[in-house]
């Protein structure tokens, strides 16, 4: 029986991945690092910012000390804020599903994004009225190991107060699904960022959040 629904954030609730891509490029511009959006999707989506910087640096032979990572995190946060201020919209069906789910059970966000990134986006959607609907929001700032490690989802379940096996997770990446599966949760993959063949470890795969409601979740995992 499902007692809570946990949402990934980037690529599930909002189409923010193109904005993160632009912020990464802007932040790395002094290192002459350039890659296209398909490369970002295929190689870097699913990492939190810290691991994203490390992966990009490794691929482009850029040496980064711990102090460099902290500086880049700060610079990317500033770049991301500037980009988000230009406007962002929720994914189709996301607002309706969040409101319906929140009226039926506890809901949460478990994301590899930073808290500041999530806060600024949620303030810009529905006049900030979605934020209080989430019982907890777990971010990259709260974990030592990011997805695909299960820590993000396990912390979310603990803070909600339900067992992992009583949670249904909605994810758009294989990395995120691996995290939820490792946490022992039920999983729904949504093909916002990848085709269904990339999400085949999910218990269920849908094409859009418009295809989902709480009754369907309960029926799948009763």
- Could you say which of 35, 66, 84 is where a domain stops? 84
Q: Are residues 76 and 119 in the same domain?
A: no
- Max mean pLDDT among 17-21, 45-49, 166-170 falls in 166-170
Q: Which phi and psi (to 5°) does residue 107 adopt?
A: -130, 160
Q: Are residues 10 and 27 in the same domain?
A: no
Q: Report the number of distinct structural domains present in the chain.
A: 2
Q: Are residues 56 and 126 in the same domain?
A: no
- Could you say which of 84, 119, 139 is where a domain stops? 84
- The yes-or-no verdict on residue 157 having pLDDT over 90 is yes
| SS3 of the chain: helix, strand, coil, percent, to 5 | 50, 10, 35
Whole-angstrom distance, CA of residue 82 vs CA of residue 43: 24
Instruction: Name the band, by pLDDT with cuts 50, 70 and 90, for residue 84.
Output: confident
- Quote the pLDDT of residue 160: 97
Tokens 């777990």 correspond to 138
Q: Are residues 146 and 191 in the same domain?
A: yes
- Quote the pLDDT of residue 29: 86
Q: Are residues 100 and 202 in the same domain?
A: yes
Mean pLDDT of 82-109: 93
Residue 165: give the domain boundaries. 4-15+89-220
Whole-angstrom distance, CA of residue 82 vs CA of residue 212: 33
Q: Are residues 10 and 57 in the same domain?
A: no
Average pLDDT, the chain: 93
Q: Are residues 115 and 132 in the same domain?
A: yes
- The yes-or-no verdict on residue 198 having pLDDT over 90 is yes
In the DSSP assignment, the letter for residue 91 is P
- Quote the pLDDT of residue 31: 79
Instruction: Name the band, by pLDDT with cuts 50, 70 and 90, for residue 116.
Output: confident
């Amino acid at each position: 029986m499902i007692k809570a629904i946990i949402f990934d954030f980037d690529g599930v609730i909002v189409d923010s991945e193109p904005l993160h891509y632009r912020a990464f490029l802007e932040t790395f511009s002094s290192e002459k690092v350039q890659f296209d959006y398909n490369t970002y999707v295929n190689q870097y989506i699913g990492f939190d910012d810290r691991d994203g910087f490390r992966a990009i640096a490794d691929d482009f032979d850029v040496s980064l000390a711990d102090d460099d990572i902290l500086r880049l995190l700060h610079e990317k946060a500033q770049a991301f804020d500037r980009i988000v201020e230009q406007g962002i919209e929720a994914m189709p069906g996301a607002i309706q599903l969040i409101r319906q789910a929140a009226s039926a059970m506890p809901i949460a966000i478990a994301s590899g994004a930073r808290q500041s990134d999530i806060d600024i986006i949620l303030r810009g959607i529905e006049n900030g009225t979605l934020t209080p609907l989430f019982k907890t929001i777990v971010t990259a700032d709260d974990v030592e190991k990011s997805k695909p490690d299960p820590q993000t989802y396990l912390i979310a379940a603990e803070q909600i107060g339900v067992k992992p096996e009583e949670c249904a997770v909605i994810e758009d990446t294989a990395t995120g699904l691996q995290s939820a599966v490792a946490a022992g949760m039920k999983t729904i993959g949504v093909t916002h960022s990848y085709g269904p063949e990339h999400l085949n470890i999910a218990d269920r795969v849908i094409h859009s959040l418009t295809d989902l409601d709480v009754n369907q979740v309960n029926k799948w995992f009763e």
